Structure 1
Amino acid sequence: MTANVKESYDHIIVRGNPFTRGHSYGQQTKEKIVSNINYYKTSGVLPDWPQVCDYINNHYMKALEKHYPLGLNEMKGIAIGANVSLEEIVLLNARYEMLIWSRLLRRTNSKWPQECTGAVCLSKATKSGDILIGQNWDIHSRLMDNDIIVLLEVHPDPEENIAPYFMLTEAGQLGRSGMNANGLGIIAMGLFSSQDHFDESDKTGQYIPITLLRRIFIEAPTFAVALKRMTSLPRHVSCNMMVATAEGEAINIELTPHNCFISYPPLETDVYTHSNHFKSSAFMDNQSVKDSFKIGSTHFRDRQLERELMNRWPNIDDHSFIDSFKNHLGFPESLCLHIPDKGKEYTSTSPKECTVANIVYNLTTKTVRLCKGQPCLGNYRKYQFNYNVNKDNED
């Protein structure tokens, strides 16, 4: 796929029932989807495709049929629209799990990904009382260089009783972070624990990929229902979910296969940040699971983001919230993550990774601000829900 030099990621609008909108999504992003699949199948970053395909069929398909048939139907639509197999679309939506599996198989000790850093600010912290949630998305630069990322805007069929929603994601995935029109928001940061497991010999284990848990949260009608649905489904890896509602609450959930470690923004500040290590008091007090992440920038990225936000407290708005993500302590492996200059790869433990996007959801105004690339360099675009079907192609 030829690299695209556009200043913003494609804004893809889909409407209708799960299969219909999936088919539209697949058609609109076919080239990106095929490129993404080919990378994961042929680059060597994952186990061999037959092994991955067997795992998908043995451990994900039945769980999706039982717990998330609407999502499975949407993925079937994507597959047909993009002219690829259903297993390949499930691969994209289980990419997070497959990369963890690959590292465990190889016993990789040093090159764990930096993943992401995120924050939420409730009304006490913001100038207008708005609820803000957002993150730097840190991953291999190819997603940005090859223009694989999309901002997906979904308008479900009215009979589904699901509010419209935005999700920032890799083409072919159902979602990574997002916001719905009812004011629910979710961001996520990678976590790695001693409970993460991939037992190929046990064909009975059935799981929902973490990426789909995020979509399931956003599709829920209320905050309470969203929390229950997301945390009760079977999973086999860990992840940090930071969730919030425009009604004025936020919760951070450090998920492992068997636990949910909960923390909240302090009542006196209404600010909370997180990166890629377990930090909740509940986790620190437990004896059943250990953090598997290697010490690195994760242990200062969240603190630097909190410092930046507190320097702007209590007058934080969308723009100063964005500015807080531009911190360069520890450059290039900083909160705002950069690829080191040629010849200086030794200055980073992940020299091919960078911040591929900064996204901010204002849950109060239902506004998305998205930057392609690092927030210190990128151009931001503002998005709101497009309820006019006749203007889907106007961006």
Structure 2
Amino acid sequence: MTAEPFPLIELSGSTEARGRRYGVEAAERIRLGLSHYQEQLDRLGLPAGAVRHAARRQFAAIARFDDAHAAEICAIAGGAGVETEDIVLLNARTEILRQARRGSEDAADGCTGSVLLPAVTRDGRLLHGQNWDWKVECAETAVVLRVRQENGPDYLTFTEAGGLARSGLNAAGIGLTANNLECERDGATEGVPLPLIRRRVLESADLALAIHAVRTTPKTASNNMMISHVGGFAVSLECAPDESFALLPEGGVLVHANHWLSAAALARLRDTGLDATADSLYRQERVRSHLAARRCLGIADLRDAFLDDFGSPWSVCRPPRRGLSGNLTATVAMILLDPGRAEMWVAPLPAINRRFTRYRLADGPAEAASFG
């Protein structure tokens, strides 16, 4: 089990050039990630042929959504020396599992996220972050991408190798994190894989268009996406496959774990994920109360809230442990965003490793980070 810093991969040029470079640079991690998911799918009894068929259907949905994203996926596959369907699987593993009606039998993404508005921070800067809880093996397969776009703002994103985006920030001051939700509508319709929607957010120069992308893009799987803007705005968009529900900060603090919070959402759908993630109830409250009890908050306060170990190993900061399905899961990474400074701090396996690496959108290497 490794707690080494996630590698920084620099991408620029055309869509195809970026994709091929990504595939070449991340080939080893892409292949390792594929082996983990193929083993998981085998355990679930999903035949390889069925997975390939599902990946081809997802690729068609991706191409309809954004042909440049589809071309990039093909280029990543070429650079890594794998099949296009393999890269689709890495981007659409949630959708493939939900459509197979098997997602509840295996570990679900956890995650606890928060945004602090400038009014409650020490130096008046918006701060945004999350813990990403998932398969412990992903500590060896995730990467950080620094992408220079020809048309659109540059961006930083933390993601599984081969994925188009997960969490991150862009040069327009937009920040993004996401956490799992489930409802009875999941898997019933064709939609766009979640990493493609997150990528669209990070490609957006305008906050309104980032929110529009999340709200209006059809999905196969539910998800919560937290969007922030350096100017002092944040929203948590609880998304079912066919509609979304907005939550705004209270007292300058926005927190979301893995259960539906919107009264409108709870009146219209059934939360089918909470039984498997019952700890979400107190994770939500532990982070909220930690931050709400303080004023003049800084990045270290956000870090400390996410390090909370109440209820361990079923805690905000999850050490490696077996989930209900027997999978070894953990808080794979803690990601802290400072959109005003265009910086991201990331610690792999923070329950057993407190070393952060700072990644900047500006040119320069990743470096060890100190919080003072």
- TM-score > 0.5, shorter chain as reference: yes
- Which residue identity is paired with 1:51? A
Contact 1:326 1:376 in 2 (8 A): no
2:224 to 237, 240, 246: 240
- Report how many aligned residue pairs link the two structures: 364
1:276 alignment counterpart: 258
Contact 1:114 1:350 in 2 (8 A): no
Contact 1:96 1:211 in 2 (8 A): no
- Secondary structure, counterpart of 2:12 in structure 1: strand
Tell me, in whole angstroms, the C-alpha distance in 2 between the residues paired with 1:338 and 1:300: 17
RMSD: 2.2
Cα deviation for residue 34 of structure 1 reads 1.2
1:292 alignment counterpart: 272
Tell me, in whole angstroms, the C-alpha distance in 1 between the residues paired with 2:103 and 2:68: 35
Contact 1:175 1:214 in 2 (8 A): yes
Tell me, in whole angstroms, the C-alpha distance in 2 between the residues paired with 1:370 and 1:116: 14
Residues 1:378 and 2:360 aligned together: no
Cα deviation for residue 206 of structure 1 reads 4.3
Tell me, in whole angstroms, the C-alpha distance in 1 between the residues paired with 2:332 and 2:181: 19
Where structure 2 has 5 or more consecutive residues not aligned to the other structure, the ranges are: none
2:174 alignment counterpart: 184
- Which residue identity is paired with 2:23? G
- Secondary structure, counterpart of 2:249 in structure 1: coil
Residues 24-60 of structure 1, C-alpha deviations (whole Å, 9 max, x = no match): 00000101111211222234255222112212223x2
Where do residues 184-203 of structure 1 align in structure 2 (5 Å cutoff)? 184-198=174-188
Tell me, in whole angstroms, the C-alpha distance in 1 between the residues paired with 2:173 and 2:319: 32
2:33 to 36, 50, 61: 36
Tell me, in whole angstroms, the C-alpha distance in 1 between the residues paired with 2:149 and 2:43: 34
Tell me, in whole angstroms, the C-alpha distance in 2 between the residues paired with 1:86 and 1:349: 30
Contact 2:54 2:96 in 1 (8 A): no
Larger-gyration structure (1/2): 1
Cα deviation for residue 149 of structure 1 reads 0.9
Cα deviation for residue 153 of structure 1 reads 1.0
- Secondary structure, counterpart of 2:270 in structure 1: coil
Tell me, in whole angstroms, the C-alpha distance in 2 between the residues paired with 1:189 and 1:167: 15
Residues 1:81 and 2:82 aligned together: no
Residues 1:333 and 2:314 aligned together: yes
Tell me, in whole angstroms, the C-alpha distance in 2 between the residues paired with 1:88 and 1:250: 34
2:204 to 195, 220, 224: 220
Tell me, in whole angstroms, the C-alpha distance in 1 between the residues paired with 2:226 and 2:21: 29
1:174 alignment counterpart: 164
Cα deviation for residue 64 of structure 1 reads 1.9
1:113 alignment counterpart: 108
Tell me, in whole angstroms, the C-alpha distance in 2 between the residues paired with 1:185 and 1:91: 25
Where do residues 40-119 of structure 1 align in structure 2 (5 Å cutoff)? 40-43=37-40, 44-45=42-43, 47-58=46-57, 60-102=58-100, 104-105=101-102, 108=105, 112-113=107-108, 115-119=110-114
Normalising by structure 1, what TM-score?
Answer: 0.87
1:201 alignment counterpart: none
Q: 1:211 to 1:322 in 2, by over 3 A?
A: same
- Secondary structure, counterpart of 1:16 in structure 2: coil
Contact 1:251 1:265 in 2 (8 A): yes
Tell me, in whole angstroms, the C-alpha distance in 1 between the residues paired with 2:78 and 2:93: 20
Cα deviation for residue 195 of structure 1 reads 0.7
Residues 1:164 and 2:142 aligned together: no
- Which residue identity is paired with 1:10? P
- Which residue identity is paired with 1:143? C
Normalising by structure 2, what TM-score?
Answer: 0.92
Tell me, in whole angstroms, the C-alpha distance in 2 between the residues paired with 1:217 and 1:375: 29
Tell me, in whole angstroms, the C-alpha distance in 2 between the residues paired with 1:393 and 1:332: 30
Q: 1:26 to 1:175 in 2, by over 3 A?
A: same
With 163-172 and 38-47 compared, the bigger mean Cα shift is at 38-47
Residues 1:310 and 2:292 aligned together: yes
- Secondary structure, counterpart of 2:122 in structure 1: coil
1:153 to 146, 154, 163: 146
With 182-191 and 225-234 compared, the bigger mean Cα shift is at 225-234
Cα deviation for residue 327 of structure 1 reads 0.6
Tell me, in whole angstroms, the C-alpha distance in 2 between the residues paired with 1:261 and 1:362: 25
Tell me, in whole angstroms, the C-alpha distance in 1 between the residues paired with 2:62 and 2:158: 22
Residues 131-152 of structure 1, C-alpha deviations (whole Å, 9 max, x = no match): 11110011111112xx111111
- Which residue identity is paired with 2:144? L
Cα deviation for residue 394 of structure 1 reads 9.3
Identity %: 27
Contact 2:319 2:351 in 1 (8 A): no
Residues 1:24 and 2:16 aligned together: no
Contact 2:3 2:353 in 1 (8 A): no
Q: Which runs of 4+ in 1 moved over 4 A?
A: 348-351, 391-395
- Secondary structure, counterpart of 2:146 in structure 1: strand
Residues 329-381 of structure 1, C-alpha deviations (whole Å, 9 max, x = no match): 101110010124xxxx69x7766111111010011111111111115632011
Where structure 1 has 5 or more consecutive residues not aligned to the other structure, the ranges are: 199-204
- Which residue identity is paired with 2:126? I
